[in-house]
Chains A and B, each alone.
Chain A
């Protein structure tokens, strides 16, 4: 069980949102219980929709997913990039390690044990902070979006202080989702083949496809790199503690080696936050952008089909009115999506560039800081 106060964690992935006073959302506290995490969602708002100006509720991960899915399924929001859902909190690996440590307590010295315990606890805390940040970013994106922030479900999510009774999807529903996804991707392939008249969207389509794949690759590779770095750092910690015990046995003073390499572990963790999280986040966002384009293409195809149907109906002079209304509907939908999609994609680019800039700068600064400290400590310990 661990709890987190709001001033303790940095925003891991900054998406550079304009927060205005009318609606500010953040996660002020979080509690990790055995198999679930409870987030305290804190809202400050001057909007008349809410009963109070400032209030908090407790939400769990499933409720965030429910909110996200309700956006996705809402036809009215087809023309917007739906902020990607936060990933499920996953403490399994960390918990397993802590358990293994507990079992192996007898086989190592007291100092080794306390040291490893501290490290694992720090790791657990880092994962915890990350999941809190991810959930917060989701809410902030929704709150910053001019249309989504007005969504009723969103307001219920923020304000209703009882349990939303949203159960996770059961097996049947998960299976349905799976098939829906299969159909969707097949459809996506078909739809993607349709060449777009509009240059902007055509360009965006090709760009996003390539970009998404490359981000996926970069994200996977950065994960591997960081895992190796962590492994090396773990080894270094083990070496440092062995050297220390060797040093205390003789009078060689090699224990200072230890310090330089605590820093190595921290460098690995920071790289993780800046680089890997950034890439992962944009992996999800670019997927959401692709989804938008898919919806637009879908509506374009529908529109074109409706046109063809109208022509056929006019030719046969049968059900013309029906075909006309259907065509008008499709046209209207398509134009609406196109209009908002354009703006969304432009915003996406701006956000992306800003986020990359911020994170790359911070990454470089952190690396510099650590390299300097490490060099200094190494020199001092000679």
Chain B
């Protein structure tokens, strides 16, 4: 099964220009309608070029640091012909996205990423953990079926920041990367080889794995060259701008603050009830998930406590059994102590399950919802931009009208030129707004589907672990019962 897709990434050079550059992937699907070769209506056939993954054009896009605003342009509808099977034109028209989803839904999503083998590289404060990222896939997007690379945490953060800068403002829900933890990392750097630092590394490893899986599950992000490079290439330029104390980091903080202020001042005229309803829905979901997350964390804590207390009780019961001089009772008490000890282990395992299955997932979703809310905010900003340029156009028109009555032909011409440009901007703004609204609709429905699926899977896994625990408990108590009955 192959997915042949081409991502059109266009740099805005003017209104209504055709895609200047194509980065397409290998097509080797004999069964699928071949995309580029045969179709006579394919206006883009000449424009398409097979670009290999190491092409210089690609490198341009992979430069570190804020990439230029890349806005996809919906080519005028007369140019695009609706196609059966996969459309290779840009992903953003309604029909093509749907079809891709059908493709995706039809065959099994065939990529699996594992993050494993954390090892400490270096010493002291410059040390870091390197993780092995193994990809197993049959997608033709990749060069081989199975390959692995070594990555460190800042690489993941770098990937996320690139994806966020490319896709967030056009309405795609980019999965957030795992959080930094200065305390946790310092412990690891310092070399404390204890329980808590091992737990921290395991927690991070698991979080990184979930992050990558979530990212590649997104059909657009999967095809992104940055993602592909991250998964495949053995050397990756160090993502310096992810450091908290770098200038980029400070810039990020300033931007965040500015955004928060802006959000409060934008009064959007919401014409689409769907968005209003969805925003409310996500607000509610946010509150509920946070509450649930807090309860689950509390449960994990209490279960760990329970395990400790059960172990202590087991020891105490054993002592009691020792001092009891009635032999059968003494034996029964010792048995009780053993049972309780085993139960303690069970509690411990259950706590781990609670944590890894449940709590982490909830944490992920709390952060995801923040990303979703961010996307809604970007839509508001896009609307604002459109409105602003409309206002500006109006002002310029008024100014031009005034200029009509003065005798300044060059100024008039200048005004006319500006108006023409602004008209284009306004049109663009409107298109952008519609585009982002459309994209958000798609994204939200995909997100909700994923969420329901995720939760269902986790809960089933969790319930299964519970059943196992109960069965173990039954075994233990059944073994104890005859001992208790044997006391005479």
List A residues at the B interface (Cβ < 8 Å): 207, 210-211, 214-215, 217-218, 221-222, 224-225, 227-229, 231-232, 235-236, 238-239, 242-243, 245-246, 249-250, 252, 254, 257, 260, 349, 352-353, 356-357, 360-361, 363-365, 367-368, 371-372, 374-375, 378-379, 381-382
Contacts and interface: CB of A to CB of B under 8 A. Distances in A.
B313 A225 contact: yes
Interface string B302-325: 110110011011011101101111
B144 to A, nearest CB: 38
B466 A224 contact: no
A368 B474 contact: yes
A357 B309 CA distance: 24
Nearest to A261: B466
9 contacts: A215-B320, A217-B316, A221-B315, A224-B312, A232-B299, A242-B288, A260-B463, A365-B481, A379-B467
Given A235-B295, A368-B474, A381-B463, 5 more contacts: A353-B487, A364-B477, A367-B473, A374-B470, A382-B463
Contacts of B478: 368
A379 to B, nearest CB: 6
Nearest to A381: B463
Contacts of A217: 316, 319-320
A342 B448 CA distance: 75
A224 B313 contact: yes
A356 B329 CA distance: 8
B302 A357 contact: no
B474 A231 contact: no
Given A218-B319, A243-B292, A254-B459, A368 B481 contact: yes
A245 B288 contact: yes
A112 to B, nearest CB: 11
B481 A238 contact: no
Interface of B: 284-285, 288-289, 291-292, 295-296, 298-299, 302-303, 305-306, 309-310, 312-313, 315-317, 319-320, 322-326, 328-329, 332-333, 336, 448, 452, 455-456, 459-460, 463-464, 466-467, 470-471, 473-474, 477-478, 480-481, 484-485, 487-488
A363 B466 CA distance: 21
A260 B291 CA distance: 20
* Interface SS majority for chain A: helix
Contacts of A210: 323
A225 B310 contact: yes
Contacts of B481: 361, 364-365, 368
A229 B309 CA distance: 9
A187 B296 CA distance: 53
Of the listed residues A214, A224, A353, A372, the one surrounded by the most CB atoms of chain B closer than 10 A to its CB is A214
B294 to A, nearest CB: 9
A231 B452 contact: no
A250 B452 contact: yes
A54 B448 CA distance: 71
Residue from B299, B315, B328 whose CB has the most chain A CB atoms within 10 Å = B299
Q: Taking each of A225, A379, A382, which has the highest tally of chain B beta carbons within 10 Å of its own beta carbon?
A: A225
Contacts, number: 146
A299 to B, nearest CB: 25
A356 B321 CA distance: 11
B336 A360 contact: yes
A372 B463 contact: no
B332 A360 contact: yes
Contacts of A363: 484
B306 A228 contact: yes
B477 A367 contact: yes
A220 to B, nearest CB: 8
B466 A260 contact: yes
Contacts of A224: 309, 312-313
Contacts of B310: 225, 228
A357 B336 CA distance: 12
A367 B456 CA distance: 29
List 5 A-B pairs, minimum CB-CB distance, nearest first. A375-B470, A228-B306, A235-B299, A357-B487, A360-B484
A240 to B, nearest CB: 9
Contacts of B306: 225, 228-229, 231-232
A218 B313 contact: yes
A228 B324 CA distance: 27
Nearest to A372: B474
A349 B302 CA distance: 37
A214 B318 CA distance: 10
A221 B309 contact: yes
Nearest to B298: A235
Contact of A372 (B298, B332, B470, B480): B470
A369 to B, nearest CB: 9
A128 to B, nearest CB: 26
Contacts of B329: 352-353, 356-357
Q: Which of A207, A235, A260, A352 neighbours the largest number of chain B CB atoms within 10 Å of its CB? A: A235
A211 B313 contact: no
A227 B471 CA distance: 24
B332 A257 contact: no
B311 to A, nearest CB: 9
Among B316, B325, B480, max chain A CB count under 10 A is at: B316
B295 to A, nearest CB: 5
A7 B235 CA distance: 78
A207 B478 CA distance: 31
B237 to A, nearest CB: 42
B273 to A, nearest CB: 19
A218 B320 contact: yes
Nearest to A206: B323
Contacts of B315: 221
